[in-house]
Amino acid sequence: MLNSTCYSTSSIQSLNPTCPSSLISTLHKPEIHYISQNTRTRIVTYNTKRRRRRMASVAAMNAVSSSQEVGVQDQKELKKGIAELYDESSGIWEDIWGDHMHHGYYEPQSSVELSDHRAAQIRMIEQALTFASLNEDATKKPTSIVDVGCGIGGSSRYLAKKYGAQAKGITLSPVQAQRAQALADAQGLGDKVSFQVADALNQPFPDGQFDLVWSMESGEHMPDKEKFVGELARVAAPGGTIILVTWCHRDLSPSEESLLPEEKELLNKICKSFYLPAWCSTADYVKLLQSNSLQDIKAADWSENVAPFWPAVIKSALTWKGFTSVIRSGWKTIKAALAMPLMIEGYKKGLIKFAIITCRKPE
């Protein structure tokens, strides 16, 4: 069975490490649910039926928004950069790695062949669904899915096929949207899946449309985490599930105001190359979900389960095909490729976390 490293007992005691200590005492102690004794997996469940929800909401805004001051002009530059990076590089990614633009899920400490990675990427989707309790009951299938930050639509197509559902994918990249639709049409999924160029911070859908809101490794691009989470909550249907898999920085300890200067420096370098805004922690996301009145919030740290990924990507970029493709794709792709060792450094230092956070919208 696969192990995943979750929050340790000490961090559970402190509940939300970035919360001011005065707030901690007003919040319920979270329940720790043991999914399976023999995997020794622990998941922290946050009980959201709190009396002082308004206080939690204010603290959430303060904790996250102060690190989020990305001005409107900066946001415009960032989004343009994101679109251009993916317009430039999606083709070569697909060529070498296939249509899933996310990490694979591996046994910790395993060594993997390049050919195993595609299966690992599928495993990542399935693990995420299992974590969100969507793989248990065959009668509780989502029928309407939104893939927020859909890339070339790998997840959209996979989920639409798995559940026989309608899926809509949104991306900032016109090239990705085109490619995603072409792949869907080619796979006979053109009537089930559609793609639009749109902004996750302003989703072009009316409220409550989707019983599964899926964001697989796109949250790290969102310059306004509060708005991002607000939109995920808005478009979720009552009773619907939200699954967020994203890169975070480590939770801060109660005595910390912010990350260490050298940690910020490392993240800044990565941000420049990957077109990322400021990072937040898993605990920050949990607070935002709480402030949107979402329930059954569960979070886990899967960093150990994705460790083989970046070395594998680097290896693929150093093959003749990989190397020449990167060079040909353009400067943004080259810069992104050069930043890959920084991700490994970040993970090794316990600074970067691969997080999954799931929850449900109340009925």
Count of all residues that appear for the chain in the document: 363
Q: Which of 57, 127, 88 is nearest to 288 (CA)?
A: 57
Nearest-approach distance from CB 198 to another protein, in angstroms: 4
Please, which residue, 170 or 183, has the CB nearer to another protein? 170
Does the footprint of another protein cover residue 246 (CB under 8 A)?
no
Taking the CA atoms of the chain, what radius of gyration do you get in angstroms? 19
Please pick, from the candidates 174, 341, 350, 362, the single residue that binds another protein as defined by CB under 8 A.
174
Does the footprint of another protein cover residue 195 (CB under 8 A)?
yes
Q: Measure the CA–CA gap between 76 and 265, rounded to whole angstroms.
A: 23
Does the footprint of another protein cover residue 206 (CB under 8 A)?
yes
Nearest-approach distance from CB 79 to another protein, in angstroms: 8
Nearest-approach distance from CB 212 to another protein, in angstroms: 14
Does the footprint of another protein cover residue 209 (CB under 8 A)?
yes
The region of 20-28, 118-126, 202-210, 261-269 touching another protein under the rule CB under 8 A is 202-210
Please, which residue, 135 or 178, has the CB nearer to another protein? 178
Does the footprint of another protein cover residue 350 (CB under 8 A)?
no
Q: Which of 296, 174, 179 is nearest to 243 (CA)?
A: 296
Please pick, from the candidates 76, 272, 315, 349, the single residue that binds another protein as defined by CB under 8 A.
76
Q: Which residues of 48-83 are buried (b: 16+ CB within 10 A; e: fewer)?
A: beeeeeebbbebbeebbeebbeeeeeebeebbebbb
The region of 173-181, 212-220, 261-269, 342-350 touching another protein under the rule CB under 8 A is 173-181
Does the footprint of another protein cover residue 139 (CB under 8 A)?
no
Within 10 Å of residue 213's Cβ, how many Cβ atoms? Answer: 27
Q: Measure the CA–CA gap between 106 and 305, rounded to whole angstroms.
A: 5
Q: What residues between 35 and 74 interact with another protein by CB under 8 A?
A: 72-73
Does the footprint of another protein cover residue 199 (CB under 8 A)?
yes
Does the footprint of another protein cover residue 11 (CB under 8 A)?
no
Two tokens, residue 15: 């509940």
Q: Which of 132, 149, 150 is nearest to 140 (CA)?
A: 132
Does the footprint of another protein cover residue 20 (CB under 8 A)?
no
Nearest-approach distance from CB 211 to another protein, in angstroms: 12
Nearest-approach distance from CB 204 to another protein, in angstroms: 4
Nearest-approach distance from CB 206 to another protein, in angstroms: 5
Question: DSSP readout, 64-97?
Answer: HHTT----HHHHHHHHHHHHHHHHHHHHHHHHHH
Q: Measure the CA–CA gap between 262 and 12, rounded to whole angstroms.
A: 26
